[in-house]
């Protein structure tokens, strides 16, 4: 009974907060309240921005359902694969500087990849290896077309090894397919790109990211290792309960605890924690063509390459629906009444349902922060589109 009363009181408080926000700005997060009330969604932070201004920043629901702690706009989230565009952007800085070429073989920078083979036949009794048509390239590891697997056999969690150790394990793993013959989503590929950043820059990957990208941009809450203060703002993670009609708290299974332990290895493909505000800052720089506050971080040509489809029809089978750029998911489908984003929108999601997208037609950024390893019931797929539709109607005209 006490839990139920606590839930009702927290919902009332959240409603009053949302009501006060509506006086100043459109209630973008308000459309998500029914999902919270049905216990499909624990809570979320929504952010809408242009290239130079935050248009809306709101929170709905709970950061901790059991304790009745309301979600706050400064909550920290594990953003998982939203790390991939950040890693790609860092590598493109080195491309701009002439230190890396996208069409160079990976083995030019990481000699351990020399002699890598392709598995052309494999079953429980044997494996047949063949020389690849060409060594995998930097462009291919960034676009998931290298043939590298999702992860190597030695990896159990994404933070177990250093990047140097992980890269050796990828080099010793046969490719699943010939390079650039299939799109196959690969953390190993993006982590390999992170290792190239280390070798070429001469500094640890996480140091390069901090000094060259996060600190200058003002992304103060983006880190592999949340501090004790940041951990107090970490939103709880949830998954569907056993009966699939509600939520239960769950640890982040891909990561090793404690999360603040610097012995955990960095994962360029999916290891960062961040806030909606930090993610928006990064997206604003990209939407502005690589510039923020008068400082250029990456060239406009690099942004075009990253956010343009690099996979041909390997992803969409000729249906002209979408694809993958360099560290970014891309959208090419024709617009219809069902679409909540415009043709040409690009972005990236994360394993626990976070999402950031950039709509260049409407010059609109939409950031959606949650911590869900799946939603219960049938309404989960409606949650992100509900936010995107509200954001587009309020600010995208």
pLDDT digits (tens, 9 = 90+) for 204-257: 999 999 999 999 999 999 999 999 999 999 999 999 999 999 999 999 999 999
State how far the Cα of 237 lies from the Cα of 17, in Å rounded to an integer.
Answer: 23
In this predicted structure, what is the pLDDT of residue 1? Answer: 36
Class of domain 84-207: alpha beta
Mean pLDDT of 98-116: 98
In this predicted structure, what is the pLDDT of residue 342? Answer: 73
Mean pLDDT of 135-149: 98
Neighbours of 203 (CB within 10 A): 15
Least-confidence region, from 8-17, 167-176, 177-186: 8-17
Beta strand pairing call for 295-296 and 329-331: unpaired
Q: Is the model's pLDDT at 23 over the cut of 60?
A: no
State which CATH number among 3.30.70.60, 3.40.710.10, 3.40.50.150, 3.40.50.300 fits the domain covering 2-79+220-395: 3.40.710.10
Q: Is the model's pLDDT at 64 over the cut of 50?
A: yes
Least-confidence region, from 36-45, 51-60, 343-352: 343-352
**Domains 2-79+220-395 and 84-207 alike in fold:** yes
pLDDT above 70 coverage of the chain, percent: 90
Give domain limits for the chain. 2-79+220-395, 84-207
Q: What are the pLDDT digits (tens) for 275-327? A: 999 999 999 999 999 999 999 999 999 999 999 999 988 887 666 567 899 99
Q: Which residues contact 66 (CB under 8 A, 6 or more apart)?
A: 3, 249
Mean pLDDT of 110-135: 94
Nearest CA among 381, 309, 377, 376 for reference residue 349: 381
The residue whose two tokens read 């979408």 is 322
Least-confidence region, from 3-7, 159-163, 180-184, 392-396: 3-7
Question: Tokens in use for 165?
Answer: 């150790």
Q: What are the pLDDT digits (tens) for 317-373? A: 666 567 899 999 997 654 555 566 677 899 999 999 999 999 999 999 999 999 999
């Amino acid at each position: 009974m006490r839990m139920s009363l606590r839930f009702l009181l927290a919902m009332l408080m959240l409603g009053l907060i949302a009501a006060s926000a509506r006086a100043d700005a459109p209630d973008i997060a308000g459309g998500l309240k029914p999902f919270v009330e049905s216990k499909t969604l624990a809570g979320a932070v929504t952010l809408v921005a242009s290239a130079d201004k935050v248009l809306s920043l709101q929170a709905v629901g709970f950061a901790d359902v059991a304790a009745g702690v309301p979600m706050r706009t400064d909550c920290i989230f594990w953003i998982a694969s939203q790390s991939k565009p950040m890693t790609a952007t860092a590598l493109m800085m080195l491309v701009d500087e002439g230190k890396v070429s996208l069409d160079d073989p990976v083995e030019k920078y990481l000699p351990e990849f020399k002699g890598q083979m392709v598995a052309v036949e494999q079953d429980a009794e044997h494996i047949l290896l063949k020389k690849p048509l060409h060594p995998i390239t930097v462009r291919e590891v960034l676009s998931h077309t290298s043939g590298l697997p999702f992860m190597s056999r030695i990896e159990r969690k994404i933070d177990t090894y250093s990047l140097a150790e992980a890269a050796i394990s990828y080099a010793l793993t046969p490719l699943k397919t010939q390079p650039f013959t299939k799109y196959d989503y690969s953390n190993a590929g993006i982590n390999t790109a992170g290792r190239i950043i280390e070798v070429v820059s001469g500094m640890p990957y996480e140091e390069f990211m901090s000094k060259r990208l996060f600190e200058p941009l003002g992304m103060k809450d983006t880190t592999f290792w949340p501090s004790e203060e940041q951990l107090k703002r970490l939103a709880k993670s949830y998954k569907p309960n056993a009966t699939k009609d509600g939520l239960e708290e769950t640890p982040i299974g891909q990561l090793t605890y404690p999360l603040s332990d610097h012995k955990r290895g960095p994962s360029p493909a999916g290891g960062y924690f961040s806030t909606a505000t930090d993610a928006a800052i990064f997206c604003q720089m990209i939407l502005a063509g690589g510039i923020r506050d008068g400082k250029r971080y990456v060239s406009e040509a690099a942004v075009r390459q990253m956010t343009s489809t690099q996979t041909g029809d390997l992803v969409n089978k000729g249906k002209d629906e979408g694809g993958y750029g360099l560290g970014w998911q891309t959208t090419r489908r024709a617009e219809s009444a069902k679409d909540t984003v415009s043709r040409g929108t690009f972005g990236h999601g994360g394993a626990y349902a976070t999402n950031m997208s950039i709509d260049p037609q409407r010059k609109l950024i939409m950031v959606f922060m949650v911590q869900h390893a799946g939603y219960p019931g049938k309404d989960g797929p409606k949650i992100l589109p509900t936010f995107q539709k509200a954001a587009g109607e309020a600010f995208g005209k």
